[in-house]
Amino acid sequence: MSLSAFLRSESATNAETQKFDLIVIGGGITGAGITLDATLRGLKVLLIEKDDFAFGTSSRSTKLIHGGLRYLKNLEFGLVKELGMERAVVHRIAPHLTIPEKMLTPIVKNGTYGKLLSAIGIGLYDLLAKVKKVERRQMLDIEQTTKAEPLLRKEILLGSALYYEYRTDDARLTIEIIKTAVSKGAVCLNYTQVNSFEYTNNVVSGVKAFDSIEKKFRIFTSSMVVNAAGPWVDDLRKLNEEIKGKYLHLTKGVHIVVPKEKLPVKQAVYFDVFDGRMIFIIPRHQITYIGTTDTDYKGNIDKPSIKYEDAQYLVKAVNYMLPDVNLKIKDIISGWAGLRPLIHQDNKNTSEISRKDEIFISDSQLISIAGGKLTGYRKMSEKVVDFVIKKLGLIHVKSNTDKVKLSGGNFENYTDVELFKEKICNFFNQNFENASEVASRLVHLYGQNTDEIIALFLNEVMNFDPEEALIRSELLYCLKYEGIQTISDFFIRRTGMVYFEPNKVEKYKHVISDCLHLHLNKSEETINKEKLDLEYAIELNIGFKKML
């Protein structure tokens, strides 16, 4: 099996001739996790994604693998325990994608928690999540806190708690799970939208889907179908039959990105805002990002955007807690808006709705899964696959996804990742002044697969300057191993450049579109449309700046 963009047509046509045990709809983290788990347990699995892999919420989160400390406020001990333990598992199977990040939570006068409650809360979190000793929380006094983060508003400080969370790249985590599943035999198709279900004796037995690359319908058959379409779960449930019982409640969360020099925090900060919500400030290479908002969403699910008032809310929050920063809307260089596929609960406001996942089974046996978190994807997947195996009447095989390293992540531990980064840095020393930064970016995106990119780079650098040679090598790698089809796939989800290095998008978008044109034999018209799509995606993120 292959995820090569060059073999996509062959894989899709071949898949039409087979009967799968399971079809999974949705190539976000949930669908990816289910596909890997089911494949490892011996099922024949087809994953179908309507856009690019991780197009939905799984490229628009806060990008943390975390235990969800704030859910202790809602007394969700079970959820915190499960997420906390999963945090360690994801770190073990993909250490290059789970970077330990110091997190400072200031304790302030009239804040949600006092010093004692914070100490108890975070202590409880350490205990529930079985946090390893070196990463457990430390309580800091006022002096220690201002030393740790001199930008904090001093007159309201009572102290702080310092602990660790893991920073990730949600879209990369999703694609590495998909690549791992493909290497074990799964078939994964992007740009294929399920439009209707096929039935045998009133039971779902396949799907009819539109392949938007080849512009044709395809029919795929299987014994069972799982709907893991995130915010679109209810759309597919409605395609299947009338929704009975629980339904989704979508809330929008926005992040904004500013250059590091505008918000030079020394570590991540997680703080209370005026309305009782909590907000993250997270440094990442040359930028700092801030999020998130949490508001009800009823708009177009394909196109959530950042509104002026979303950005204003986050800027105001930063300026309140870090007054010397004096952040302005005009400092924002990019951002993203995502939708939480939560399960509606009466009389609860957006922040109070549980992040727990739930499975729904329709009369015609469509299995739908919704809710949950990026961090808990493995447990969600395990639950679904246990259910599928039971329904198929197969002998129960235990999930072993906790033991299978993800593509690019075959490191013993995080120290190994650091050593690998040094090796890559040594290689690039002769080509780049900022070799250490280049190495860090690559290793935290591609892990050990950086070696493949270097092999391509050796060729490209004979014809182009190092920076261009590297971006071309990344593109070739993504074509060969990550099934990219469009310019946006590359700039948004594989490299995150739209969010974190927008200047590079501007500089190289023509190079990348020319390469795609050449390698995928695309028409001028298609390439022009893709360029407009990229512009539009960027417009959704920073179009609000036009109001300045």
Binding site for ligand FAD (CB under 6 A): 25-31, 48-51, 55-58, 60-64, 66, 193-194, 228-232, 236, 253, 292, 338-341, 372-375
Distance in Å, CB of 194 to ligand FAD, minimum: 4
Question: Is the CA virtual torsion 78, 281, 418, 497 positive or negative?
Answer: positive
Distance in Å, CB of 52 to ligand FAD, minimum: 8
In terms of Cβ atoms closer than 10 Å to its own Cβ (0-12, 13-18, 19+), residue 250 is buried
Measured from the CB atom, is 159 or 283 closer to ligand FAD? 283
Distance in Å, CB of 427 to ligand FAD, minimum: 32
Distance in Å, CB of 492 to ligand FAD, minimum: 12
The verdict on whether omega for the bond into residue 292 sits within 30 degrees of 0, i.e. cis, is yes
Measured from the CB atom, is 207 or 515 closer to ligand FAD? 207
Distance in Å, CB of 230 to ligand FAD, minimum: 2
Distance in Å, CB of 93 to ligand FAD, minimum: 15
Structure tokens belonging to residue 64: 């943390």
Q: Which helix (H) or strand (E) holds 53?
A: none
Measured from the CB atom, is 279 or 475 closer to ligand FAD? 279
Structure tokens belonging to residue 441: 């970016």
Q: Which helix (H) or strand (E) holds 275?
A: none
On whether the CB atoms of residues 343 and 234 are closer than 8 A, the answer is no
Distance in Å, CB of 298 to ligand FAD, minimum: 15
> What's the rounded Cα separation, in Å, for the pair 541 and 256?
9
Based on DSSP, count helices (H) and strands (E) in the chain, helices before strands: 17, 18
Measured from the CB atom, is 62 or 145 closer to ligand FAD? 62
Distance in Å, CB of 209 to ligand FAD, minimum: 7
Distance in Å, CB of 50 to ligand FAD, minimum: 4
On whether the CB atoms of residues 283 and 260 are closer than 8 A, the answer is yes
Local structure of residue 201 (DSSP, 8 states):
T
Measured from the CB atom, is 95 or 372 closer to ligand FAD? 372
Measured from the CB atom, is 56 or 106 closer to ligand FAD? 56
Measured from the CB atom, is 58 or 495 closer to ligand FAD? 58
Whole-Å CA distances, 231 to 294, 301, 303: 15, 7, 12
On whether the CB atoms of residues 229 and 223 are closer than 8 A, the answer is no
Measured from the CB atom, is 420 or 544 closer to ligand FAD? 544
Long-range contacts from 66-72, C-beta under 8 angstroms, 24+ separation: 66/165, 66/166, 66/375, 67/125, 67/128, 67/129, 67/131, 67/165, 67/375, 68/355, 68/373, 68/375, 69/121, 69/122, 69/125, 69/270, 70/278, 71/354, 71/355, 72/121, 72/124, 72/125
Measured from the CB atom, is 61 or 180 closer to ligand FAD? 61
Measured from the CB atom, is 194 or 492 closer to ligand FAD? 194
Q: What is the DSSP string of 358-396?
A: EEEE-TT--EEEE---STTHHHHHHHHHHHHHHHTTPPP
Distance in Å, CB of 372 to ligand FAD, minimum: 5
Residue with tokens 């109001």: 547
